[in-house]
């Protein structure tokens, strides 16, 4: 019979971060973690073995909230059977998500229950500080810690200016510049990948996510590919999100490259990497300053003095406007749902009044 210590260690191997008391599932159920999602079902791991499972029918209903369905990184209760069935998604301690593509305002979960988010960006043609700012804004409300990982250090003769530029833009974020193929170079990341830890890799195609995964694993498990010479972008060698157990004891979620990073509407610019700009705006003479031609504008003064980078200011404005639009879309969607509930309730009452309860 498995001891409590062995049971807890087994759960820690799949990233369980709860108290030392072992989790007790009901008879006929077991606790597992979602490690991959495919069109034909899920792959789960219970700390001992990997197995396939199907979601309970309610998760597949057309009107089901996509954010409530099982996602990679979720801990779930599985009903034993043939095949096993995911019955319940346990509460998430952190959730990294983005708005899904398209006009409908839906939240797409990138990964659940992660402690760290490694934002990978190449120091080659992939280098783009504005993209990092967008990633940090998405991460800010997730509950996870952001770590910027600058790859391709071996391919750039002198990256000091690029590294300094990004440090100026996001001074409070942990940052590492490295060669993703070098085990010594990636060693500092292991501090985020101890027993019970989970990290997720995000970044554009060709940034080196799969290469870094292979180095941390010590084996060539994830497929890697070449990048285009024009912009250093790669093909999608990783085609689905997958959670991988590492020799260090931690778990790593590799993800496909992301072409679009839509804001959900819940992000906070001030709490992300723009707190200094928000503070600066409070110093304007007028509380409703638009930072245009008003006298006493602290933002315009900082731009003129070179204390505020013009590109970063433009990035702030773009994200601010996009965040406002996302908020409007979210509010409009909630209003439509509320109106639909009222209309359905009124229709139900009319039918009962006319035909009686059946």
Q: What is the pLDDT of residue 214?
A: 94
Q: What is the pLDDT of residue 235?
A: 47
State the CB neighbour count (10 A cutoff) for residue 262: 20
Q: CB-based burial of residue 320 (10 Å sphere; 0-12 exposed, 13-18 middle, 19+ buried)?
A: middle
Q: What is the pLDDT of residue 64?
A: 81
Name residues whose C-beta falls within 8 Å of residue 337's C-beta, 6 or more positions apart in sequence: none
Q: Does domain 95-254 have CATH number 3.40.50.300?
A: yes
Q: What is the pLDDT of residue 273?
A: 79
CA-nearest of 45, 15, 2 to 249 is 15
- What is the phi-psi region of residue 306: left when phi exceeds 0, alpha when psi lies from -120 to 50, beta otherwise? left
State the CB neighbour count (10 A cutoff) for residue 94: 21
Q: What parts of the chain have a pLDDT lower than 70? A: 1-2, 19-22, 101-105, 220-239, 259, 330-343, 346-349, 351-358
Contact 242, 253 (CB under 8 A): yes
Q: What is the pLDDT of residue 268?
A: 83
- Residue 186 tokens, joined: 């990636």
> Nearest 5°: CA angle at 207, between 202 and 213?
65
Domain extents in the chain: 4-89, 95-254
| Predicted model pTM | 0.82
- CATH code linked to domain 4-89: 2.40.50.140
């Amino acid at each position: 019979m498995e001891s409590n210590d062995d049971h807890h260690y087994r759960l820690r191997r799949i990233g369980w971060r709860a108290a030392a008391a072992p989790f007790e599932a009901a008879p006929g159920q077991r606790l597992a973690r979602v490690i991959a999602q495919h069109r034909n079902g899920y792959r789960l791991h219970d700390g001992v073995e990997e197995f396939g499972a199907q979601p309970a029918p309610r998760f597949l209903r057309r009107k089901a909230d996509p954010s409530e369905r099982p996602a990679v990184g979720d801990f779930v209760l599985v009903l034993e059977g043939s095949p096993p069935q995911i019955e319940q998604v346990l509460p998430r301690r952190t959730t990294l998500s983005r708005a899904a593509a398209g006009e409908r305002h839906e939240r797409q979960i990138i990964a659940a229950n992660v402690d760290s988010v490694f934002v990978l960006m190449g120091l080659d043609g992939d280098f783009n500080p504005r993209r990092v700012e967008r990633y940090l804004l998405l991460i800010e409300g997730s509950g996870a810690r952001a770590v910027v990982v600058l790859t391709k250090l071996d391919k750039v003769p002198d990256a000091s200016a690029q590294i300094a530029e990004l440090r100026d833009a996001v001074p409070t974020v942990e940052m590492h510049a490295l060669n993703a193929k070098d085990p010594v170079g990636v060693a500092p990341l292991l501090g985020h990948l101890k027993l019970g830890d989970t990290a997720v890799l995000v970044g554009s195609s060709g940034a080196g996510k799969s290469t870094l995964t292979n180095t941390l694993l010590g084996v060539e498990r994830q497929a890697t590919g070449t990048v285009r010479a024009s912009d250093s972008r790669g093909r999608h060698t990783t085609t689905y999100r997958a959670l991988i157990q590492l020799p260090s004891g931690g778990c790593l979620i590799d993800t496909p490259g992301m072409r679009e990073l839509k804001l959900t509407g819940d992000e906070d610019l001030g709490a992300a990497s723009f707190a200094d700009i928000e503070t600066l705006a409070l110093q304007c003479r007028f509380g409703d300053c638009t930072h245009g031609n008003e006298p006493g504008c602290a933002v315009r003064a900082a731009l003129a003095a070179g204390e505020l980078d013009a590109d970063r200011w433009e990035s702030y404005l773009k994200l601010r406007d996009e965040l406002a639009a996302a908020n409007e879309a979210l509010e409009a969607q909630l209003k439509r749902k509320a109106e639909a509930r009222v209309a359905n309730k009124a229709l139900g009452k009319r039918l009962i009044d006319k035909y009686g309860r059946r």
